[in-house]
C-alpha cells in the first residue's frame, strides 16, 4: 500500500476510535476527594509547604511503591536535581543518561554543573541498552582506584540515570550490575512510571534513589509535583532539609546552614495528590485498557504497531507508543491530526540532537535515532477507557 493510503487508513481508524472520546494527549482523571481536600487546605489556611497533606502524601507514596522513604517536591525535575545534589555532583563529573528521554533528565545534570554523557537505547524496553553500555564503558572508561573515569575528558563517571520511558521498565537489573562493577551511582528517573512494576517491584526502587513526577500529564497528578523515593534515611532527611531552603529548626530565628532550594511540594498540590492516589488502581486499570483498545483497533493494519510492555513487567502504559512501518508518513500524519485537535505527538527528541547538548560526549545512537524517526505517542488519558 502506498504512503498516502497508509496515512489515510491510520487517520480514519484513529478518528473512528476517538469519536466521542477526549482527544487530548493525556487529560487527567479526577474521581474522588480532590475538591474536598483542597477546600480543607483553604479553610485551614495551610496552602504552602507546611501542612498535613504533604506528609500524608509522602506516606502514601511510600506505601504504594514500597519505598521506605519518600520526599515530596515541587516537580519531578526538582526531585532529580535534589537526588543528584545529594551525591555531590559537580563540574568534574559526568553522568550517563539515555539520549531518548525528556530534556529534564539531562537538565538536572546540567544544573549541578556536571556533563551528561549520552547512551543509546535498546528496542524492547526503550531504555539504556546494557550491552551497548558495557561496550561503551570498556571503550571510554578507565578505573582508577575505586572510581571510573572518562579517559578522554578525565572526568569521573560518577552516576547513571536510568529512565523508564513511557512507563516501560528499562533493563534495570542488568544496568544495576554494570553500575556496581564500575562503582557508578544508579538513579532511576521513574517520572513516567508511577504504577509500573518489574517482577512485581515498583520502578524507582531498584537504584540508589528513584524519582517520580506528578505533572498534569502523568498517571496521577498534583498539578505539578514530584518525589524522591529511597531506602536511605540519611538521604531522606537531607533532601527534606535541602528542599526547604536548608532552614534549621529554630523557634524564632532564620538560620540556613547551606544554600538550599525552594523545592518542597505545597499542601494544595499534596491534597490533590492524596485524593488521586486513593484511585490509582482504577486509573491504572483504565490506562492498561487503552493498550488493548488501540491494539485491537490497529490489529489488521500491518504498517502501524502498538508497543507492548516488556516481559516480566506490569506497566502503567503512560503514553501509548506506536511504531510506523513507513517513517515518511509521520510528520504529515501528526500535523493533520494536530490541526484537528488530536493529542498525537512525536516521541521525545533524542537529546544529543538538541543544540544545547550537541557538544556532550555520547555513544553511537542508531536505535534512538531510528525510534525517533518512526515512533509516535497516541492520546493516552485514563478517561478513554474508564468504566
Ligand atoms: C523522563 C522524565 N524525567 C523528568 C521529568 C520531569 O518531571 P516534571 O515535569 O514533574 O518536572 C519528566 C516530565 O515529564 C519526564 O518525562
Walk along the chain (387 residues) and give the pLDDT tens digit of each residue: 677 788 899 999 999 999 999 999 999 999 999 999 999 999 999 999 999 999 999 999 999 999 999 999 999 999 999 999 999 999 999 999 999 999 999 999 999 999 999 999 999 999 999 999 999 999 999 999 999 999 999 999 999 999 999 999 999 999 999 999 999 999 999 999 999 999 999 999 999 999 999 999 999 999 999 999 999 999 999 999 999 999 999 999 999 999 999 999 999 999 999 999 999 999 999 999 999 999 999 998 889 999 999 999 999 999 999 999 999 999 999 999 999 999 999 999 999 999 999 999 999 999 999 999 999 999 999 999 998
Query: DSSP 3-state assignment of 246?
Result: coil
Q: Which of 160, 164, 230 is nearest to 194 (CA)?
A: 164
- Ligand 1 in reach of 368 Cβ (< 6 A): no
Report the distance separating Cα 173 and Cα 130, nearest Å: 9
Q: Tabulate helix, strand, coil % of the chain (nearest 5).
A: 40, 20, 40
Spacing, Cα 268 to ligand 1 middle (Å): 20
Spacing, Cα 121 to ligand 1 middle (Å): 18
Spacing, Cα 300 to ligand 1 middle (Å): 34
- Ligand 1 in reach of 75 Cβ (< 6 A): yes
105 Cβ neighbours under 8 A, 6+ residues apart:
80, 97, 98, 161, 163, 189, 351
Domain ranges of the chain: 3-30+280-385, 34-277
Taking the complete model, does pTM exceed 0.85, yes or no?
A: yes
Which residue out of 76, 128, 204 has the highest number of ligand 1 atoms within 8 Å of its CB and is therefore the one to mutate? 76
- Ligand 1 in reach of 361 Cβ (< 6 A): no
Spacing, Cα 81 to ligand 1 middle (Å): 11
Q: Which of 219, 225, 212 is nearest to 270 (CA)?
A: 225
Q: Which three cell numbers stand for residue 372?
A: 525517533
Q: Which three cell numbers stand for residue 274?
A: 492524596
CA-nearest residue for atom 1, ligand 1, is 102
- Ligand 1 in reach of 381 Cβ (< 6 A): no
The answer to whether the CB of 89 falls within 8 A of the CB of 297 is no
Spacing, Cα 213 to ligand 1 middle (Å): 6
- Ligand 1 in reach of 188 Cβ (< 6 A): no
What sign for the dihedral angle of Cα 308, 291, 66, 133?
A: positive
Residue 6 has a pLDDT of 87
Residue 313 has a pLDDT of 98
The answer to whether the CB of 373 falls within 8 A of the CB of 330 is yes
Spacing, Cα 77 to ligand 1 middle (Å): 6
Spacing, Cα 26 to ligand 1 middle (Å): 14
Instruction: Give the right CATH number for 34-277 from 2.60.40.10, 3.40.640.10, 1.10.287.3510, 3.40.50.300.
Output: 3.40.640.10
Q: DSSP of 270-282, one letter per residue?
A: HHHHHHHHTTHHH
Which residue out of 102, 224, 243 has the highest number of ligand 1 atoms within 8 Å of its CB and is therefore the one to mutate? 102
Q: H-helix or E-strand containing 353?
A: none
67 Cβ neighbours under 8 A, 6+ residues apart:
61, 202, 204, 205, 210, 229, 230, 231
The separation between CA 374 and the C-alpha centre of its own chain, rounded to angstroms, equals 21
Spacing, Cα 211 to ligand 1 middle (Å): 9
Report the distance separating Cα 150 and Cα 116, nearest Å: 12
83 Cβ neighbours under 8 A, 6+ residues apart:
187, 209, 211, 228, 235, 239
Strands 115-119 and 93-98 come out as parallel
Torsion angle of the four alpha carbons 317, 323, 327, 332, in this order, in degrees rounded to the nearest 10: -50
Nearest atom, ligand 1, residue 215 CA: 10
Q: Please determine whether the domains at 3-30+280-385 and 34-277 fall in the same fold group of CATH.
A: no
The CATH classification number of 3-30+280-385 equals 3.90.1150.10
Torsion angle of the four alpha carbons 166, 315, 67, 63, in this order, in degrees rounded to the nearest 10: 120
Residue 382 has a pLDDT of 97
Amino acid at each position: 500500500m502506498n504512503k498516502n493510503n497508509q496515512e489515510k487508513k491510520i487517520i480514519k481508524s484513529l478518528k473512528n476510535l476517538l469519536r466521542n472520546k477526549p482527544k487530548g494527549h493525556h487529560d487527567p482523571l479526577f474521581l474522588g476527594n480532590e475538591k474536598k481536600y483542597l477546600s480543607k487546605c483553604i479553610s485551614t489556611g495551610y496552602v504552602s509547604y507546611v501542612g498535613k497533606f504533604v506528609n500524608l502524601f509522602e506516606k502514601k507514596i511510600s506505601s504504594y511503591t514500597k519505598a521506605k522513604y519518600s520526599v515530596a517536591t515541587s516537580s519531578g525535575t526538582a526531585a532529580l536535581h535534589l537526588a543528584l545534589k545529594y551525591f555531590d555532583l559537580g563540574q568534574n563529573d559526568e553522568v550517563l543518561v539515555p539520549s531518548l528521554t525528556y530534556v529534564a533528565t539531562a537538565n538536572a545534570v546540567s544544573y549541578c554543573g556536571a556533563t551528561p554523557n549520552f547512551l543509546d537505547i535498546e528496542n524492547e524496553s526503550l531504555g539504556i541498552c546494557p550491552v551497548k553500555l558495557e561496550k561503551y564503558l570498556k571503550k571510554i572508561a578507565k578505573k582508577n582506584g575505586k572510581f571510573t573515569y572518562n579517559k578522554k575528558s578525565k572526568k569521573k563517571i560518577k552516576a547513571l540515570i536510568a529512565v523508564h520511558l513511557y512507563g516501560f521498565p528499562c533493563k534495570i537489573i542488568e544496568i544495576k550490575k554494570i553500575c556496581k562493577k564500575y562503582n557508578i551511582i544508579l538513579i532511576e528517573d521513574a517520572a513516567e512510571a508511577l504504577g509500573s512494576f518489574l517482577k512485581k517491584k515498583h520502578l524507582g526502587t531498584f537504584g540508589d534513589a528513584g524519582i517520580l513526577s506528578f505533572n498534569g500529564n502523568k498517571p496521577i497528578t498534583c498539578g505539578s509535583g514530584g518525589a524522591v523515593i529511597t531506602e536511605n534515611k540519611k538521604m531522606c532527611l537531607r533532601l527534606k532539609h535541602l528542599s526547604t531552603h536548608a532552614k534549621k529548626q529554630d523557634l524564632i530565628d532564620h538560620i540556613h546552614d547551606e544554600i538550599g532550594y525552594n523545592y518542597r511540594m505545597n499542601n494544595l498540590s499534596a491534597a490533590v495528590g492524596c485524593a488521586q492516589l486513593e484511585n490509582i488502581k482504577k486509573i491504572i486499570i483504565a490506562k492498561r485498557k487503552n493498550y488493548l483498545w488501540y491494539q485491537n483497533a490497529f490489529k489488521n493494519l500491518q504498517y502501524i504497531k502498538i508497543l507492548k510492555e516488556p516481559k516480566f513487567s506490569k506497566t502503567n502504559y503512560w503514553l501509548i507508543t506506536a511504531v510506523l512501518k513507513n517513517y515518511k508518513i509521520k510528520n504529515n500524519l501528526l500535523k493533520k491530526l494536530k490541526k484537528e485537535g488530536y493529542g498525537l505527538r512525536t516521541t521525545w527528541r533524542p537529546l544529543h540532537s538538541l543544540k544545547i547538548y550537541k557538544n556532550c560526549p555520547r555513544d553511537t545512537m542508531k536505535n534512538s535515532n531510528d525510534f525517533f524517526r518512526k515512533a509516535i505517542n497516541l492520546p493516552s488519558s485514563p478517561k478513554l477507557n474508564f468504566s
